[in-house]
Structures are given as C-alpha cells and as structure tokens.
Amino acid sequence: MGKSKVFMFSGQGSQYYHMGRELYETNLTFQHWMSKMNQIIQQNAGINILEEIYNPAIHRSTVFDKLSYTHPAIFMVEYSLARVCIENGIEPDYVLGASLGEFVSAAITGILSLEKALECLLIQSALIQSDCQPGSMTAIVHNPELYKQTSIIHDHFELAAINYSSHFIISGNYRDELITVEAYLKREGIVFQTLPVRYGFHSANIEPIAREYKKKLSNLTFNHPQIPFISCVSAGSIDDIDSEHFWNVLRQPIDFQKTIQRLEAGNQFVYIDLGPSGTLANFVKRNLTSDSESKVYTILTPFGQDVRTLQKVMESLN
C-alpha cells in the first residue's frame, strides 16, 4: 500500500501574473474549470479574472496585488489544478490549506460548494478593500524566536505564520512601521522579503471586517468533510467546521511547521503542492527529518515548464 497523498493549497503571496497559463492553453480540464469559475465570478462580481491574469500586455514579473483579482485567481488556479490531478486518477487522502488555501480545501472536500467558497472569498476581498487600511506582510529568514526577542518587530507587527525553524512571517500596518523593521533587518544582515499583498492578513489590520464578515459566514451551511481536512490554524485535522473557523483562517496565525511535524509523527506521506509557486513544497522539505521517507512534489512555478512538470508528476504517482 502506497503512502497517503496530501493535496496542499497556499494563500496570498504565492500569486503572479500568468500563473498556470501554459496549462490553461494546453490542458482541457484545467481550462474547463478556470473558465467555469471565471464565469461564476463575472456573474457575481462583474470582473474577468482570466483577462487580468493572462493579459499579454502584462509581464509575469509585474506585481500582482489587487485583492479583488488575486483572491479569486489563487483559488481558481489551485482548484483547477486539483481537478486535473483527480481526473487523472491522483486523488487526495488529505487536504491541507494554508490561509486562503483552506477555502480551496473546503471546496475539494465538500465542506462548501465551489460556488459558496468563491462567494466567501469575493465577499472577504470586497470588505477588506472597503474597510481596512493598507497593511503589509514580510517573510523573515531567521529563527521565529527573533520575533519574541526583538521589540522593534513585535511592537509593530504580529506573528502571522511560522513555516519552518528558520522562516516566519510578520503582518500589520504599513509605511513607517515597515520601514523601521526593514531597516533593522538590513542592519542585522537578516534576509527578508516583503510579500506582494496590500493588507496585513492574520493581524489586527483586518479586524474592521470582523462583524460583517462573521455575519456573512454565519449564513452558510458547512458540511462534514468527505476527505480529512488539515488546518494550519489548528495544526491538525478538523471534523466539525463552523463559520468561526473561517474567520480564524483569516485572523489567526498559521503554524505550518507544527502542522507538518504532527503529520510526520504519525505517518509518512506524498505531499503535492497545488499552489502557483511551490511555496508549501519548499516549506515541507524544510520540516522533514533526515530519515523521513515522505515525498514532495511541485507542479507550478514562476519559471514555467508546467506541462512537462505535470506529466512527470503524473508518471511518478500513477
């Protein structure tokens, strides 16, 4: 019996223009689902995601951070890629989402319908853009203990994610605070990267939408997951999922490190990163012990070769 397969879905910060374009042009399944969701979004929000992300006049390296487009675009690419895998006989034994990726997990495992999951993200992005001040998120390549030990960081920002033993993300307000923290990191020679987002997810920066968004979520019905649902908020499997959980997905910190460590303590897996950039695959590799027999696969990256890589993954797993 082979190792259990874990489908992984990443969130904000993993997006870029033209993500998945090669598959969209050549893979009928991917194209079908991308087009279907684009139609749903056009009907509900009046915007065309495909025209934006595959606009030939926009270079791949252009910063892609307008929330009304990035939120649904990330979901669309990840969900479509998951459907490609499933329709080619690669089915998940578990789904694992990080931040926005939990909504993709919810749609794949039947907690929410595809339409309702998209609706949640469209409402969320509209509320954030109307009610929240600009914010920022910065990935720091250092021991997460630095956050607790350094007042210049924890006084200005919240801990948004711990991804592995030398990688964490801070989140919060913008401008002066960010300049102060980045100046400190530069002085100390600490590597960091400001993520392509306009808001501080997993921080008080998004608190202004709490009441209205929770109200919208409370109107939804959440089904029992048909596939084990691994949350990076709780760092484990969840069976009973309610509206409060999906507020916590947006507001509470992500503990990817603990999530993978808990999974690995009980078994070994095939991790398949279905995000646009292979971000979670890189994080998993950093969390595996030297004696782990788990395997990690990436399909999409900003560097292309997506069709060729997909074929290799299919051959390896079928």
Give DSSP secondary structure letters for 225-283. PSS-EEETTTTEEESS--HHHHHHHHHSPEEHHHHHHHHHHH--EEEEE-SSS-HHHHH
The pLDDT assigned to 179 comes to 83
Is the pLDDT at 225 greater than 90? The verdict is yes
- For 261-307, what is each residue's pLDDT tens digit? 999 997 899 999 999 999 999 999 999 999 999 999 999 999 888 99
Is the pLDDT at 174 greater than 80? The verdict is no
d(CA 77, CA 213): 24
Centre a 10 Å sphere on the Cβ of residue 190 and count the other Cβ atoms it contains.
Answer: 14
| Cα distances (angstroms) measured from residue 86 to each of 39, 40, 80, 266 | 22, 22, 10, 25
Share of the chain above pLDDT 70, in %: 99
The CATH number of 135-195 is: 3.30.70.250
Is the pLDDT at 14 greater than 90? The verdict is no
d(CA 167, CA 172): 17
Sign of CA dihedral 128, 280, 52, 123: negative
Is the pLDDT at 1 greater than 60? The verdict is no
pLDDT band at 95 (very low <50, low <70, confident <90, very high): very high
Phi/psi of residue 162, nearest 5 degrees: -120, 115
Report which residue type is found at 181: V
Fold (topology level) of 4-132+203-316 = Malonyl-Coenzyme A Acyl Carrier Protein; domain 2 (3.40.366)
Average pLDDT for 87-104: 95
Average pLDDT for 236-242: 88
| Cα distances (angstroms) measured from residue 233 to each of 99, 174, 191, 254 | 8, 24, 26, 5
Catalytic member of 99, 136, 203, 243: 99
Report which of 52, 36, 24, 10 is spatially closest to residue 113, judged by C-alpha positions. Answer: 36
What is the pairing mode between strands 135-140 and 192-194? antiparallel
The pLDDT assigned to 266 comes to 78
d(CA 84, CA 274): 10
Contacts 24+ apart (CB under 8 A), 313-317: 313/90, 313/272, 314/85, 314/88, 314/90, 317/5, 317/90, 317/270, 317/272
pLDDT band at 46 (very low <50, low <70, confident <90, very high): very high
> What average pLDDT does the structure give for the chain?
93
Say if residues 249 and 102 touch (Cβ distance below 8 Å).
yes
DSSP 197: -
| Cα distances (angstroms) measured from residue 88 to each of 19, 76, 92, 258 | 21, 18, 12, 31
| Residue 99 designated active-site | yes
Domain residue limits, the chain: 4-132+203-316, 135-195
- The pTM for the full model equals 0.94
Contacts of 250 (CB under 8 A, 6+ apart): 99, 124, 201, 202, 206, 213
